[in-house]
């Protein structure tokens, strides 16, 4: 065994071939070890935030809501949505958890209309899951 290894390291042609082979494989090895950032955190040290905080989101939404007409005598608009805030502050993977689809779609549109402050873990921006809910009670006006 010792003779085989000694021959492997002493012949210059073999050494150059092995070095060349290792250099060819190095990019493949490095590429295999680096994986894309696909982790979505459900908890972050610094959570993502709507510009102006969560209550500003509700206020902005309630100012712009368009309720389908005619509305029932008591129309409950409790809605909840879930989405991912990307590292650049954009919104992806949005999903309606609860509520009227038309109203919830308007809420998601409001959420996506602005760039969010991203969440951070260990001082680095990360993709983070976020849930938000809004509730209001609307009554039909008596005419």
Q: Checking DSSP bridges between strand 124-126 and strand 119-121, what pairing results, if any?
A: antiparallel
Tens of pLDDT, residue by residue over 41-55, are: 988 999 999 888 777
Indicate the average pLDDT of the chain.
76
Kindly tell me if the per-residue pLDDT of 24 is higher than 70.
no
Kindly tell me if the per-residue pLDDT of 32 is higher than 50.
no
Confidence of residue 143 (pLDDT cuts 50, 70, 90): very low
Kindly tell me if the per-residue pLDDT of 124 is higher than 80.
yes
Please report the DSSP string for 40-86 in residue order.
-BSS-SB--B-TT-HHHHHHHHHHH----SSPPSEEE--EEEEEEE-
Q: What is the pLDDT of residue 34?
A: 46
Residue 94 CB burial class (10 angstroms; 0-12, 13-18, ≥19): middle
Domains, the chain, with CATH or none:
2-33 (no CATH), 54-139 (3.30.1150)
Q: What is the pLDDT of residue 142?
A: 46
């Amino acid at each position: 065994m010792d003779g085989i290894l000694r021959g492997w390291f002493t012949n210059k042609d073999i050494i150059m071939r092995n070095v060349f082979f290792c250099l060819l494989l190095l990019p493949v090895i490095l590429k295999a070890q680096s994986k894309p950032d696909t982790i979505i955190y459900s908890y972050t040290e610094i959570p993502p935030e709507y510009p102006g905080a969560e209550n500003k989101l509700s206020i902005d939404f309630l100012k712009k809501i368009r309720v389908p007409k005619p509305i029932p005598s008591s129309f409950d608009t409790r809605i909840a949505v879930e989405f991912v805030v990307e590292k650049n502050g954009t919104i992806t993977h949005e999903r309606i958890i609860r509520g009227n689809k038309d109203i919830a779609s308007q809420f998601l549109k409001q959420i996506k209309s602005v760039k969010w402050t991203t969440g951070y873990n260990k001082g680095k921006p990360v993709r983070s899951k976020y849930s938000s809910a809004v509730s209001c009670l609307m009554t039909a006006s008596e005419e």
